[in-house]
Structure 1
Amino acid sequence: MGAVTSTMAAKFAFFPPNPPSYGVAEDEGTGKLRMTGVAERDNVDVLRLATKRGTRIVALYVKNPAASLTLLYSHGNAADLGQMYDLFSELSLHLRVNLMGYDYSGYGQSTGKPSEQNTYADIEAAYRCLLEKYGANEEDIILYGQSVGSGPTLDLASRLSRLRAVVLHSPIMSGLRVMYPVKRTYWFDIYKNIEKIPLVQSPVLVIHGTADDVVDCSHGKQLWELCKEKYEPLWVKGGNHCDLELYPEYIKHLKKFISAIEKSSHFRSGSMPPSDQMDAARNSTDCRPRSSTDQREKSRLSIDQREKPKAMSDLREKSRASVDRRERSRKSVDFSEKANNSSEQPERARNSIDRFGEMMRSAVLCNIDCFKPAGAKI
């Protein structure tokens, strides 16, 4: 039985960037670690963490002095910390959170080999570090899982009852369901998110692109429908698997979500009001996107919280073709056209530049082929 499971897991290929996009060096005087190949920042700690499965993973912690919450980010299948570094710094700044990111075993400068079970041990080591080294409390931690990162995210979230919130970004229902159109869960499947999502006690935000050709939007929709504590999902019109950060509604919706859960110690007294649940469910049909007006007006949770107006002028992205240089099957100009040509989002027309946009010009987020079975041509 174990051999069959291993065979199935082997078909679900992991794609750590090769060579890694960064290195790790130790200061001879202080013993402090730093990442090479990226810009040094005073507010970033670089760490090596031991996991219960005997590997040592690299993690980074981005400090924000204004933060009351901490985001634990599990990245996608074909990225490493060097490629996520700028994005993590910008998310910490704009969402006003501390942020910890980590590389799975076998990714970047982490030791060992990537596997489903190792990723579970990896996120546990990062979570334990937040508690023990940085004094974070469970109820002040938000788990964020992108693509394959939804696997370790939901595994941990299903076992923690006091988490503040969970964000699922282009999540998968299970490994097998990504590769084959199966309708049931088999014992040899991996990342059985569809079985774990009902166990999550905290509010869940789902973000998925309506044009995702790697993990269909139906994955995000079905996971959202199974959530106990639903937050208004974001279906990004025209968004694919690796470009959602390029859309202004991405950071806007995340800010609204963070603001809502920050103001409420726990809104677990009944999820969203029935009227809001019905509205959100109706809008989720076939992953249809909301209009920008709907997104602005439907920020109510159980306490009708609405994010106070904030200066969004620095968030209109100026995507460039270089954003896409690692997506082997896509022309980078496609992303630039999506980000600049849409007339549906008023904020895109504002004279708003640009820290987030500048970061996105050099961000490398994931590989469009990141779910092809092992041995497939890429």
Structure 2
Amino acid sequence: MGTAISSLVFQPPSLTYMHNAKHFWLDTRTMNRIPAFFIDRSSTITVLFSHGNAEDLGMIYDWFHDFSRLVKVNVLAYDYTGYGKASGEVSEENCYADIDAAYEHLTVDHQIASERIVLYGRSLGSGPTCYLAEKLSRSGTKLGGVILQSPLCSAFRVAFNFRFTLPGDMFPNVDRISNIECPIYIIHGTRDEIVPFWHGQELFFAAQTKHRVKPFWVDGAGHNNIEALLREDGAFFTAIGKFLDEYTDRNRGAAPQSKPKE
């Protein structure tokens, strides 16, 4: 049953970056090796990005090269176990181990303070993002913020509007978001054909009132075209930049160390 559900939830694409030398390797607590890339803009804020389903690093690198320049942030993105060139079998638990390894790389190897890190999850990536944000909040660790784009309440709820989280459901974001203790910015297309718009709405209302940032509901956008619809006039980059300006410390203090320790 679990394997059948996993095969529906996770859909790794064919590898797109076999000869791409821009990535490096991270070791996870579940004994897997995953690739990641880090774009250093010497910014005071680093975005830790968790990508969507049917994506890998090769498909998102160019976008985040532009994103990091226009939004003026550093970016670390990683592939999930079983995606891209990563070893192992994809699973919910491995996704959590993957983002743990990416966060540890930033805080230990790059010595970036947690309050200078913004977790950003798109679609499936909202799962590991909410997991880590809740985990850090429960431990009293302050984050810079959380961005959720086209997020899901939980895996089962993508197909069924269950009132409660059922046993075996994956990525129960709607249960976790109320425990997140930092600004939460939700972006969702009103005509999302994969993760219905009401998921974004439900997650917004499930968050603590004091941490809700006015959401960005993109009128007429689907699941995979938000960036494309808003790229020409720069509205997407402007919205992210405004969130970072208003809710993080990126305009205050010195830039964190960005070179890994020897």
Same fold by TM (over 0.5)?
yes
Whether 1:131 and 2:126 are equivalent positions in the alignment is: no
30, 45, 58: which one aligns with 1:53: 30
1:236 maps to: 218
Whether 1:149 and 2:131 are equivalent positions in the alignment is: no
Tell me how far 1:263 sits from its aligned partner.
4.6
Cα distance in 1 between the residues matched to 2:199 and 2:251: 29
Tell me how far 1:113 sits from its aligned partner.
1.4
1:23 maps to: 18
Contact residue 224 and residue 233 of structure 1 kept, 8 A: yes
Cα distance in 1 between the residues matched to 2:103 and 2:68: 17
> Which amino acid is 2:37 matched to?
L
Aligned residue-pair number: 242
> Which amino acid is 1:16 matched to?
P
Tell me how far 1:88 sits from its aligned partner.
1.1
Cα distance in 1 between the residues matched to 2:147 and 2:19: 29
Tell me how far 1:13 sits from its aligned partner.
3.0
Cα distance in 2 between the residues matched to 1:258 and 1:56: 31
Cα distance in 2 between the residues matched to 1:81 and 1:264: 26
- Structure of greater Rg: 1
Whether 1:208 and 2:188 are equivalent positions in the alignment is: yes
180, 188, 197: which one aligns with 1:217: 197
Cα distance in 2 between the residues matched to 1:188 and 1:8: 12
Matches within 5 A, 1:204-353: 204-228=184-208, 229-246=211-228, 247=230, 248-263=234-249
SS of equivalent residue, structure 1 residue 84: helix
> Which amino acid is 2:150 matched to?
S
1:13 maps to: 9
Tell me how far 1:262 sits from its aligned partner.
3.4
2:135 maps to: 159
1:307 maps to: none
Tell me how far 1:131 sits from its aligned partner.
0.9
Tell me: CA distance 1:264–1:141, structure 2 relative to 1, closer, same or farther (3 Å): closer
Q: Please list the CA deviations of residues 84-105 of structure 1 after superposition, one character each: whole Å capped at 9, or x if unmatched.
A: 0011111111111110000000
Cα distance in 1 between the residues matched to 2:9 and 2:240: 30
TM superposition score normalised by structure 1: 0.62
Cα distance in 2 between the residues matched to 1:188 and 1:110: 25
Cα distance in 2 between the residues matched to 1:11 and 1:222: 26
162, 176, 182: which one aligns with 2:162: 182
SS of equivalent residue, structure 2 residue 120: strand
Cα distance in 1 between the residues matched to 2:59 and 2:173: 26
Contact residue 44 and residue 251 of structure 2 kept, 8 A: no
SS of equivalent residue, structure 1 residue 106: coil
Tell me how far 1:265 sits from its aligned partner.
8.9
Cα distance in 2 between the residues matched to 1:48 and 1:80: 14
Contact residue 47 and residue 76 of structure 2 kept, 8 A: yes
Cα distance in 1 between the residues matched to 2:161 and 2:4: 15
Cα distance in 2 between the residues matched to 1:160 and 1:265: 23
Tell me: CA distance 1:197–1:8, structure 2 relative to 1, closer, same or farther (3 Å): farther
Give the gaps of 5 or more residues in structure 2. Answer: 253-262
Give the gaps of 5 or more residues in structure 1. Answer: 26-33, 36-45, 267-378
Percent identical residues: 37
Q: Please list the CA deviations of residues 208-262 of structure 1 after superposition, one character each: whole Å capped at 9, or x if unmatched.
A: 0001011111000110111120111000011100011121432221111011123
Tell me: CA distance 1:16–1:52, structure 2 relative to 1, closer, same or farther (3 Å): same
SS of equivalent residue, structure 2 residue 136: coil
RMSD of the alignment, in Å? Answer: 1.7
Tell me how far 1:8 sits from its aligned partner.
6.1
Contact residue 9 and residue 190 of structure 1 kept, 8 A: no
Tell me how far 1:170 sits from its aligned partner.
0.1
Q: Please list the CA deviations of residues 149-197 of structure 1 after superposition, one character each: whole Å capped at 9, or x if unmatched.
A: 0000000000113011000000000000012232221121111111000
Q: Please list the CA deviations of residues 19-44 of structure 1 after superposition, one character each: whole Å capped at 9, or x if unmatched.
A: x000257xxxxxxxx24xxxxxxxxx
Contact residue 63 and residue 98 of structure 1 kept, 8 A: yes
Cα distance in 2 between the residues matched to 1:97 and 1:89: 10
TM superposition score normalised by structure 2: 0.88
Whether 1:108 and 2:94 are equivalent positions in the alignment is: no
> Which amino acid is 2:239 matched to?
H
Higher relative contact order (CA 8 A, sep 6+): 2
